[in-house]
A = this chain, B = another copy of it.
C-alpha cells in the first residue's frame, strides 16, 4: 500500500484556518489505499516570539524526512519586516533548492475579475526560486548616517537559469498552445538579461514545437491587464515573478484562489505548496478566509506526486464551486472546505 508523508505548516493568521480545509479536501480525495501521515510544525510568529527561532538546522532535518510540505501562511505585524520572510520562507526555499516556483492563473467562468469584459486567462508562471535579487547578497555601510549606502546583489548563474528555463520549456511543450514567454528587463539589466536571453534562446532550439516570445517586465504588466490571453507559460526571474504573479492572481480571480508550488523537481528535497496570499491578520480567526487557494495548492501537491486524477478532481470541484458562488451570499472558510470535500469525494 502507498503512503503520503506530509509536513503541515499552518503558520500565522488565516494560515491555520485555510490549511485545515486543505487537509480536509486532501483526505477526501486521496485513494483509500494511500496511507496519509501528517505531522504539524509550529513555525511562524508564535514560535519566533517564544524562542527567537525561525527555522533551525534540526527543523530542516525533520522537514526533509517528509514527501511534501503544505504551508498556510507565515507573517505577523508583531514581527519586524523581513525576519520571518528571510528567516523562514526564503531560508526554506533556498535550503530545499526550490528552484521552480510554479504559479498557475486561470480565470474560471463567472469568477469576478477587476478586468472588464471577462477575458480568457489561462497561463502558468514559472518563477525562478533560488537566485536573482532574492539571495540576500548585498549589505549596508554607514548605517543610519547621511552617508549610508545599501546594496542588493542579484545573482544569476547559467546553472540556475538553465534548469528553470528547461523546466518551463517542458511545461510549455506539454500544454496545447505550446507557447513560452520570457519576461525580464534585458535592455537595462544587461548582465543578467543577456544570460537569461542567451540561455532561453539556446534551450529554445531543443524545443522546436514551442513558440517563444520575449517581453520586458514593465510591458508584461500592461499585457496582463490588456491582453492576458497572449500568455501560455511565462518563465522569469525571482523578483519579476514575485511581482507579476500577484498581478496575475489579481486579474484571474484574486489571491483567494491563487495557488503555488515551490518545487524541487529532482525530489532530492521535499517540495512545498502554499497559497500565494499572506496571513491576513485583519481577518484571522473569523472564518472569513477563502481556503480555495490552499485547496488548489493541494492539487498542485498531488500532481507533483503523480496523483494526476486526484488533482484533476480538485480542479474540477473548485471550478464548479467558483461558478456556483456567483450571486450567492459568502460562505465561511469551513463551509467552502466542506463543499469542496463533498465534491471531490463524490
Contacts and interface: CB of A to CB of B under 8 A. Distances in A.
Contact of A114 (B115, B239, B244): B115
Given A116-B113, A158-B146, A218-B246, A189 B81 contact: no
Given A116-B116, A191-B140, A147 B158 contact: yes
Interface string A202-234: 000000000000000111011011100000000
Nearest to A223: B250
Contacts of A150: 156-157, 191-192, 194-195
Contact of A188 (B85, B198, B217, B249): B85
Contacts of A222: 246-247, 249-250, 255
Contact of A156 (B81, B151, B187, B254): B151
A114 B192 contact: no
20 contacts: A81-B187, A114-B115, A114-B225, A114-B226, A138-B189, A138-B191, A138-B192, A140-B194, A142-B158, A145-B158, A146-B158, A151-B191, A152-B192, A185-B239, A188-B239, A217-B243, A218-B245, A221-B247, A221-B250, A225-B225
Contacts of A156: 149-152
A146 B139 CA distance: 28
Interface residues of A, number: 67
Given A133-B152, A219-B246, 14 more contacts: A86-B188, A113-B116, A114-B115, A116-B116, A136-B190, A138-B191, A138-B192, A140-B194, A142-B158, A150-B195, A185-B239, A218-B242, A221-B250, A222-B255
A154 interface: yes
A73 to B, nearest CB: 13
B152 A157 contact: no
A327 to B, nearest CB: 16
A65 B195 CA distance: 39
Contacts of A217: 243
A81 to B, nearest CB: 5
Contact of A226 (B81, B152, B250): B250
A334 B153 CA distance: 46
A16 interface: no
A134 interface: yes
B246 A225 contact: no
Contacts of A85: 187-188
Given A154-B154, A247-B247, A195 B116 contact: no
